[in-house]
Amino acid sequence: MKEAPEMNLSELLINAFFQIRTFLSLRDSKLNITSEIFVNGERIFPPKNIRVENHYLPNQYNYKINIKHNAVKFSLYTSRDLKAFESAYVNSLLKNIESAFVQKEGFDVEDEFVLMISKLVEARSEETGEHVNRVSEIAKFLAQLSGHSSRDVKLIHGAAALHDIGKVGIPDYILNKPAKLDDKEFAIMKEHTLIGFELLRNSSLKIFQTGAVIALEHHERWDGTGYPYGLEGEQITLESRIVQIADVFEALTQDRCYRPAWPLEKAIEYMNDMKGKQFDPWLIELFNKHLREFVQIVQDKQDEEAN
């Protein structure tokens, strides 16, 4: 992996708009939305050489924040009134960016932004809870064991939180169905891999680029029977293979709306049964060698949530 670039305020704000636009558009495909972003009175988006025509959109929303002595004005223009929860989401996202940028520098701010974005999925699903955090921690440890550099471990830890971001485009009745999905519903659910990729792929931020690939590939299988493209073996990126193991192990050991948590022994047996089928055999060997630590990660995160 190449070294991740240092976070830039302008880039962060522009990426925030694209995340907002995609999220709102997925909820309402007929919504038109544009933006103007100013830092210290100077327009950074759209670029100054582009003429802006927002007059055809009847609703304007202005959000003002200060980030490290920089006065930011974030204007949205929409074809309809934003609903209360939509406006609250935008406000919360920008306020969290403000707090994160004040408290942290560089790559850590990217991590903070990623966690904020990943909470979109948790807010829509009744059972995920702290799923994102647990998957990220498991993926981090497995990335360390597989020989990644400390910087790449940190990148995978952050990008893993985005693996299910495409679920923002999946209907609530499918996400929270308390029973097995039928064939039609499962076909719709599988689209979350492609939606997640489209959400993230055009970002210039390394963490989103990595997250895009993970979102796309984390349901591929080592034997080539996964989705969306039926990739097999090392055609699947190592980062995606790592996150897949983290995602499945975490999911099996937690309650879901359609089934209770599996006993730990049964979950471990499944992981090994799927060695060379669903999972990279080498990564499962690492998983087995450090099984106590992986179990402890899940239990520690559960204890944190209980407190």
What is the C-alpha separation between 197 and 164, in angstroms, rounded? 10
**Tokens read off for 236:** 């699947």
**Tokens read off for 291:** 């099984």
Catalytic residue among 140, 167, 206, 301: 167
Look up 167 and say whether it is catalytic.
yes
- Beta partners for residue 67, in sequence order: 70
Residue whose token pair is 């559960």: 302
Active site residues: 167
